[in-house]
Structure formats: C-alpha cells, structure tokens
C-alpha cells in the first residue's frame, strides 16, 4: 500500500488490518504519522517503509525491503500521489513532469515489480486509486488529470495482459473526500462543491476504503479492468 500515512491511505490501511490483513504501507516524509498508525493497527506483522515514488532507485529499494520481508503479496493498493496545480500557461515543465512521474510512472514501477510475484502465485488483486478529475478534467489541474486518466488506461491494458494468470487490476475513482485538502476550503467553497454532487455531501475516507476492500477481496473475483466510482454521483458512466 503506497501512501498510507494520512487521509484516504490511512483509512484503507486501518480497514484492511481490521479485516485481518497483514499490511505494509509506505510514507514519503511523515514518518511520525506512519509510526502512529502502525502502533494502533490491530493484529501483528505489519510494516512501514519509506519511499519516494518519483525516484526509481527509492522504489526499487523499497520493493527489495518488502520482498525480503515477505515472500508473498496478495494485494497491492497504489494510493500515493501529488498535485501541483496551475493553469497551463503558468505551469512549469518540472511541475508537469513531477506529477506524471509520481502519479503514473511511479505506479508503473510498483506494478511491474509486484505483479511478477502475483503472476508466479497465479493470484492477486491490484487496486489503483485514480480520481474523478481523471474522468472529467478540471481547469488548473491538467497535469493531475492526465496522470489519473493515464492510470485508468494503464490499468485496463495491464488487466488484459495478466488476467490469464488470475491477477486482477481495478481502479477506485474518489470524488471530493474529506481530507486535509478539502479541510483547507472555506464553507462557501465546500457548499459550491456539494451543490454539484447529487448526494449533496462530501465523501469520507472510509467510503473509499470499503470500495478498495471489496476489490481486493474474492467478492470481486470476476471484476478486472474496472473503475469503481466513489463520488456521490458527481460523475456517472
């Protein structure tokens, strides 16, 4: 599980552990937060690993630490991601590259490394956290939208490549979820968002976590290449 030290990632880690999973999750800089989550997780055998998803050598080192500790991996959740929002005419090339390298290329590195273990075992489920912005686009977020839309297409393609090995890949596409990012919005901004959502409320991190749990479990064993929307009806397809 990448990006498990806060927000949606922390909710996923906690729900998986609560349901009996041994969870290894990464953090980039919030070691104290990761350690606090680890300490409170039910069960035992959990791991935290430091990783910079945009740095290939960091990803490789993290994957080595994981596979040295665990010989089997049944599920993968790619949740870590960044934003560097700006209108196109003001966006720096390095900010575009940084978002693509982290949100898309980084997930490519994780999936390439861990899908080998799953293919050998002939079982496994990979869940990629994309976004409603990757489905609708959003002014000022062209880099983020491109990375998340690319992740959906990447997921569909790899699902076709390795489905014969009983390894599944799906996406969860959250809408506006109550996190640190939405916590920075004022009440007028929150109300404007809610007015666009048919269910007239923001989602909770646990809403996304339950969708991830479903896609990792055998209850979704005949689903692959699918994007499950958790957005209150903001985008329907």
**Is 1 part of any domain?**
no
pLDDT at 183: 72
Examine the pLDDT at 172 and tell me if it is beyond 90.
Answer: yes
pLDDT at 14: 97
pLDDT at 185: 76
**Is 237 part of any domain?**
no
In tens, the pLDDT along 106-119 reads 999 999 999 999 99
**Is 192 part of any domain?**
yes
The domain in which residue 187 lies consists of 7-230
The torsion angle over the Cα atoms of residues 94, 133, 13 and 202, rounded to 10 degrees, is 130
pLDDT at 53: 95
pLDDT at 188: 87
SS3 192: helix
**Is 207 part of any domain?**
yes
Domain count within the chain: 1
In tens, the pLDDT along 193-228 reads 899 999 999 999 999 999 999 999 999 999 999 999
d(CA 61, CA 49): 10
Active site residues: 144
In tens, the pLDDT along 45-83 reads 999 999 999 999 999 999 999 999 999 999 999 999 999
Examine the pLDDT at 181 and tell me if it is beyond 90.
Answer: no
On whether the pTM is more than 0.75, the answer is yes
In tens, the pLDDT along 117-157 reads 999 999 999 999 999 999 999 999 999 999 999 999 999 99
The CATH code of the domain that includes 134 is 3.40.50.720
pLDDT at 143: 98
Burial class of 50 by CB neighbour count within 10 A (0 to 12, 13 to 18, 19+): middle
Whole-Å CA distances, 82 to 52, 67, 166: 11, 26, 31
């Amino acid at each position: 599980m990448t990006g498990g030290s806060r927000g949606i990632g922390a909710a996923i880690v906690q729900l998986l552990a609560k349901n009996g999973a041994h969870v290894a999750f990464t953090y980039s800089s919030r070691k104290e937060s990761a350690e606090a989550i680890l300490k409170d997780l039910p069960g035992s055998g959990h791991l935290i690993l430091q990783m910079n998803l945009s740095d290939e050598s960091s990803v490789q080192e993290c994957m080595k630490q994981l596979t040295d500790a665990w010989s089997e991996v049944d599920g993968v959740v790619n949740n870590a991601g960044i934003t560097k929002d700006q209108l196109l005419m003001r966006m720096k090339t390095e900010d575009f590259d940084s978002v693509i390298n982290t949100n898309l290329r980084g997930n490519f590195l994780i999936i390439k490394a861990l899908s080998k273990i799953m293919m050998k075992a002939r079982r496994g489920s990979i869940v990629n956290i994309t976004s409603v912005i990757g489905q609708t686009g959003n002014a000022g977020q062209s880099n983020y939208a491109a990375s998340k839309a690319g992740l959906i297409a990447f997921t569909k393609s790899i699902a076709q490549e390795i489905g014969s090995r009983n390894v599944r890949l799906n996406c969860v596409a959250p809408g506006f979820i109550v996190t640190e990012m939405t916590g920075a919005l004022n009440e007028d901004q929150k109300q404007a968002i809610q007015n666009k959502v048919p269910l007239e409320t923001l989602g909770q991190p646990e809403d996304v976590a339950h969708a991830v749990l479903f896609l990792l479990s055998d209850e979704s064993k005949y689903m692959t290449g699918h994007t499950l929307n958790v957005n209150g009806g903001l985008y329907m397809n």
